[in-house]
Amino acid sequence: MATRYKKEELEQIVFLQLDNLNTQAKHIELLKKNNERLHEYNKILLDKITHEDKKPKPYSTPPRKRKK
């Protein structure tokens, strides 16, 4: 059977749901900000790694033969 609620009980349930939705929205915003920061840090780290690869590598030169 269906449960009958009073108006006050329904209002309380609706306000609790609204409060939960607002809290979830805040958490979603925090997650979005954290994701943006992670993307920025990943770009910075990737740039550092690629710059290290672009440094010239020293190659050894063969020893010169001396004339006698």
Interval 10-26: pLDDT, tens: 999 999 999 999 999 99
pLDDT at residue number 67? 72
Let me know the angle formed at the C-alpha of 64 by 58 and 68, rounded to the nearest 5 degrees: 165
| 46 found inside a domain | yes
| Backbone φ, ψ for residue 40 (5° rounding) | -65, -45
Amino acid letter at 46?
Answer: L
Window from 10-19, 32-41, 42-51, 55-64 with minimum mean pLDDT = 55-64
Taking every pair of Cα atoms in the chain, the longest distance, rounded to a whole number of angstroms, is 112
Give a yes or no: residue 13 inside a domain: no
- Structural domain range at position 41: 21-52
Q: How many Å apart are CA 29 and CA 36, to the nearest integer?
A: 11
Residue 62 lies in a domain: no
pLDDT at 29: 98
Distance CA 39, CA 33 (A): 10
Number of domains in the chain: 1
C-alpha span between 29 and 25 (Å, rounded): 6
